[in-house]
Amino acid sequence: MIYSGKAITVTESDGGIAELCFDLKDDSVNKFNALTLNELQEATAAIAARSSIRGVIVTSGKPVFIVGADITEFGTLFGASEDDIAEKILEINRTVFNAFEDLPLPSVAAINGIALGGGFEMALVCDYRVMADTARVGFPETKLGIIPGYGGTTRLPRLIGADNAIEWIASGKEQAADQALKFGAVDAVVSPELLRDAAVSLVKQCVDGKLDYRAKRQEKQAPLKLNAIEATMVFETAKAFVAGQAGPHYPAPVTAIKVMQKAAGMSRDEALREEARGIAKMARTQAAKNLVGLFLGDQLLSKSGKSLAKKGGKVERAAVLGAGIMGGGIAYQSAVKGTPIIMKDIAQAGIDLGLSEAGTLLSRQVERGKMTVAEMTGVLNRIQPSLSYDGFDNVDIVVEAVVENPKVKHAVLAETETKMRSDAILASNTSTISITHLAEPLKRPENFCGMHFFNPVHRMPLVEVIRGEKTAEDAIARTVSYALAMGKKPVVVNDCPGFLVNRILSPYIGAFMGLVRRGVDFVAIDRAMERFGWPMGPAYLCDVVGIDTGVHAGAVMAQGFPDRMKYDFKTCHEVMFENDRLGQKNGRGYYAYEADQKGRPKKIVDESVAALLAPVIEGSETLDDETIVDSMMIPMCLEAVRCFEDGIASSATDIDLALIYGIGFPPFRGGALHYIDDFGIASFVARADELAASAGPLKGAYLPTDKLREMAASGDAFFG
Ligand SMILES: NC(=O)c1ccc[n+]([C@@H]2O[C@H](COP(=O)([O-])OP(=O)(O)OC[C@H]3O[C@@H](n4cnc5c(N)ncnc54)[C@H](O)[C@@H]3O)[C@@H](O)[C@H]2O)c1
């Protein structure tokens, strides 16, 4: 044994080959935490000190190679000044990664499983890389708002060319073994059981002088082989393209390109200095702070979800009632992820629609080469269309997705319950109606809960699992298990009108209607909110959701929270509804819609809308972007605060994640409660009070809660 630590061991085998093995104790994965970095430095020194060693292979004792840096340690590092972060990262490069790369003997990485971020960087400091055909490599850093920092932007372009490195780093995508081999990021791909032998054989060829590892090493330490014109072409074109794709709120991908461009003519050590400056700059951005927070929050959510799912047990067979927009989507998602499902409707037309919707989604996947025709047939076979309750006595869960009408739902739920096994779960996909109220006619309310999907089901990650007054924890656990099996992100919430996400969305839409009433142009509101980071502005969102759905949901919310969601004026939504402008579904709402070349609805400004709205407009205000944004965001964020105080979700993190996964809250802003923290609670409260003064009938939606005022006074925050 040459070295034995808690994360790394180094052993010597015949012929003077050392094996440096990453195997972090008491953890399921290898990652670069402070301990591992420290041990890598020590292990490298131990190898250097052993004169009998002639080559090194780097392996992993776990199913993964190394998943990357330990993100839980980012908070401490990123809290330092930009200069200090850069200095710290440079020091790690110098003392750990460069020290290993500069060992006077050849090294080969045996990439057995995923090697991401720092894990891939470890592989890149080796002279050669052999990869299992099942493994994946990549740099996901830009998705966290940062760039690779342990030599990724330095070594990768020198190895695979600037254009390919830009694509890999800016996209953050994982790369399969065949791609890695094709681009030259690895030198060989073999089946997993041959991996270690292949690595040993490669390193021995270096030792025997059959392979010139020094020349190979030199390639990734020298300036890039691009002349000035080529460099301008590659980097400038990429910057323009990537900036357009990422948008102004996500500066990391473009920063990575700028770093590679600046460092193109530099040696390794100079290039690493540029890289360290680049990552330090990104680490200090709000986007990085929030995206890293989101990643960690997501890990917590998935951990609690998995532990609930374990208790709840697997759903073997499911059923859905209603084959409409939502029922069809639920059936598709269940079948695609492997759970057979009965799709029941009262009308053959409904069933035909549900099946054709699933068929369209599947055909698209076949066209894109993501699915074979046989797989598509398999998925369709898992959806059993039905006009009767046949087979309901053999399912573990039934999801009700019939029309949003409490009377109809009461009747349907009560009837369905009699057709099911007594231990099976009944769940409603209602978007607004109280779960406790829906449970009233049921004999087994303990087996009933909400399972609220978002439209379109196959695309939106969130599922709210709603606990009614009588819902048993077993029912919640089983429903969470099903949501996870469907590839969704379940968030467990307590019952109230609109549950978590629609309750928080409602005052936002109210604020929109209030601004329109004051004469603010809705196109200007949409533009301001899209610039703020929303995927679509509120008018466009209402058109996509459906004005009728919005009006209906609004009525339920008004009843639930009259102090801030009931309006004593005629709203622009009502005008749209009365004029049969239902949104995208009938081609006209706030905007008009026409099919684009691919047949998808494209919005166009419809000049006739202004005249329709004129009777309900009582002002002619023009507001700047900042005022529009604050006027829209404050009521939404305050409702998130109320949900937090009312215990609707179990944590502030769950609230923020639900908004990001359910309605596309801009991820770089971290969610509503992170947004308040970043605003500064005292400034937020002051701004809310200021806007309340001019909000007229919407005043209630702008008034901070007493607890929030207390937090402002005591300098408290929702996070850390
Ligand atoms: N559309 C959305 O954006 C959205 C989002 C989340 C939740 N929801 C909720 O999902 C539910 C369904 O909404 P949708 O938009 O899919 O409606 P939809 O009108 O598209 O579909 C409803 C379907 O239910 C069928 N149906 C009616 N009574 C039935 C019965 N007794 N048994 C079986 N089927 C019956 C109808 O024939 C129709 O096919 C509603 O509660 C709605 O609030 C909708």
What's the gap in Å between 428 CA and the centre of ligand 1? Answer: 10
Q: Which residues, in sequence order, are CB contacts of 70 under 8 Å at separation 6+?
A: 31, 32, 33, 34, 36
Reference 401, options 433, 358, 436; nearest CA is 433
pLDDT of residue 15: 85
Contact between residue 112 and residue 195 where contact means Cβ atoms under 8 Å apart: yes
Contact between residue 437 and residue 470 where contact means Cβ atoms under 8 Å apart: no
Contact between residue 67 and residue 29 where contact means Cβ atoms under 8 Å apart: yes
Q: Enumerate helices (H) and strands (E) in the chain, giving the number of each.
A: 32, 20
Q: Which atom of ligand 1 is nearest to the CA of 453?
A: 6
- Joined together, the tokens standing for residue 670 give 């971290």
76 pLDDT band, cuts 50/70/90, is confident
Q: What is the pLDDT of residues 27-36, one digit of tens each?
A: 999 999 999 9
Phi then psi for 375, rounded to 5 degrees? -65, -40
Q: Which atom of ligand 1 is nearest to the CA of 402?
A: 24
pLDDT of residue 13: 84
Among protein residues, the one with the nearest Cα to ligand 1's atom 31 is 412
Q: Which atom of ligand 1 is nearest to the CA of 354?
A: 39
Strand duo 8-13 + 3-4: pairing: antiparallel
Q: Which amino acids bring their CB within 6 angstroms of ligand 1? A: 321-327, 344-347, 350, 401-404, 412, 429-431, 453-455, 545, 549
Does the pLDDT at position 545 exceed 90?
A: yes
Q: Which atom of ligand 1 is nearest to the CA of 321?
A: 33
Helix (H) or strand (E) segment spanning residue 10: strand 8-13
Among protein residues, the one with the nearest Cα to ligand 1's atom 38 is 324
DSSP 8-state class, residue 704: P
Q: Which atom of ligand 1 is nearest to the CA of 412?
A: 31
- Put simply, whether the predicted model's pTM sits higher than 0.85 gets the answer yes
Contact between residue 49 and residue 12 where contact means Cβ atoms under 8 Å apart: no
**Distance set, CA 128 to CA 63, 185, 614 (Å):** 21, 9, 70
What's the gap in Å between 406 CA and the centre of ligand 1? Answer: 12
Residue whose CB lies within 8 A of the most ligand 1 atoms, among 403, 432, 661, for a mutation test:
403
Phi then psi for 677, rounded to 5 degrees? -60, -45
Q: What is the pLDDT of residues 418-442, one digit of tens each?
A: 999 999 999 999 999 999 999 999 9
What's the gap in Å between 321 CA and the centre of ligand 1? Answer: 8
pLDDT of residue 227: 87
Active site residue 452: yes
pLDDT of residue 343: 97
Residue whose CB lies within 8 A of the most ligand 1 atoms, among 386, 390, 392, 402, for a mutation test:
402
Which residue in the list 249, 410, 437, 452 is annotated as catalytic?
Answer: 452
Number of neighbours of residue 132 by Cβ within 10 angstroms: 21
Query: What is the average per-residue pLDDT within 519-545?
Result: 97
Among protein residues, the one with the nearest Cα to ligand 1's atom 30 is 346
Query: What is the average per-residue pLDDT within 100-117?
Result: 98
Helix or strand or coil: residue 384? Answer: strand
Q: Which atom of ligand 1 is nearest to the CA of 351?
A: 39
Q: Which atom of ligand 1 is nearest to the CA of 432?
A: 43
What's the gap in Å between 399 CA and the centre of ligand 1? Answer: 11
Among protein residues, the one with the nearest Cα to ligand 1's atom 36 is 322
Does the pLDDT at position 209 exceed 80?
A: yes
Q: Which atom of ligand 1 is nearest to the CA of 350?
A: 39
What's the gap in Å between 353 CA and the centre of ligand 1? Answer: 12
Residue whose CB lies within 8 A of the most ligand 1 atoms, among 321, 348, 418, 431, for a mutation test:
431
Phi then psi for 525, rounded to 5 degrees? -65, -45
What's the gap in Å between 345 CA and the centre of ligand 1? Answer: 10
Which residue pairs from 304-308 have beta carbons closer than 8 angstroms and sit at least 24 positions apart in sequence?
Answer: 305/480, 305/483, 305/484, 305/489, 305/490, 306/484, 308/476, 308/477, 308/480, 308/481, 308/492
Residue whose CB lies within 8 A of the most ligand 1 atoms, among 320, 321, 326, 386, for a mutation test:
326
**Dist CA 104 CA 276 (whole Å):** 25
What's the gap in Å between 601 CA and the centre of ligand 1? Answer: 22
640 pLDDT band, cuts 50/70/90, is very high
Reference 433, options 553, 566, 345; nearest CA is 553
Q: What is the pLDDT of residues 347-386, one digit of tens each?
A: 999 999 889 989 999 999 999 999 999 999 999 999 999 9
Reference 148, options 262, 51, 276; nearest CA is 276
What's the gap in Å between 577 CA and the centre of ligand 1? Answer: 19
Query: What is the average per-residue pLDDT within 159-188?
Result: 97
DSSP 8-state class, residue 314: -
Contact between residue 268 and residue 90 where contact means Cβ atoms under 8 Å apart: no
**Dist CA 38 CA 140 (whole Å):** 23
**Dist CA 137 CA 382 (whole Å):** 34
Q: Which atom of ligand 1 is nearest to the CA of 553?
A: 43
What's the gap in Å between 331 CA and the centre of ligand 1? Answer: 13
Cis peptide upstream of residue 538 (ω within 30 degrees of 0): no
Does the pLDDT at position 563 exceed 80?
A: yes
Among protein residues, the one with the nearest Cα to ligand 1's atom 4 is 455
211 pLDDT band, cuts 50/70/90, is very high
What's the gap in Å between 90 CA and the centre of ligand 1? Answer: 57
Query: If 0-12 CB within 10 Å is exposed, 13-18 middle and 19+ buried, where does residue 657 land?
Result: buried
pLDDT of residue 581: 98
Q: How distant is the alpha carbon of residue 54 from its chain centre?
A: 45
Residue whose CB lies within 8 A of the most ligand 1 atoms, among 345, 416, 506, 582, for a mutation test:
345
Residue whose CB lies within 8 A of the most ligand 1 atoms, among 320, 325, 392, 663, for a mutation test:
325
By percentage, how much of the chain surpasses pLDDT 70?
100
Helix (H) or strand (E) segment spanning residue 578: helix 572-578
Among protein residues, the one with the nearest Cα to ligand 1's atom 27 is 402
What's the gap in Å between 98 CA and the centre of ligand 1? Answer: 60
What's the gap in Å between 398 CA and the centre of ligand 1? Answer: 14
Does the pLDDT at position 14 exceed 90?
A: no
What's the gap in Å between 573 CA and the centre of ligand 1? Answer: 22
Matching residue, tokens 């080559």: 55
Residue type, 643: C
Q: Which atom of ligand 1 is nearest to the CA of 428?
A: 41
Work out the mean pLDDT of the chain and round it to a whole number. Answer: 96
DSSP secondary structure, 68-94, as one string? -B-GGGHHHHHTS-HHHHHHHHHHHII
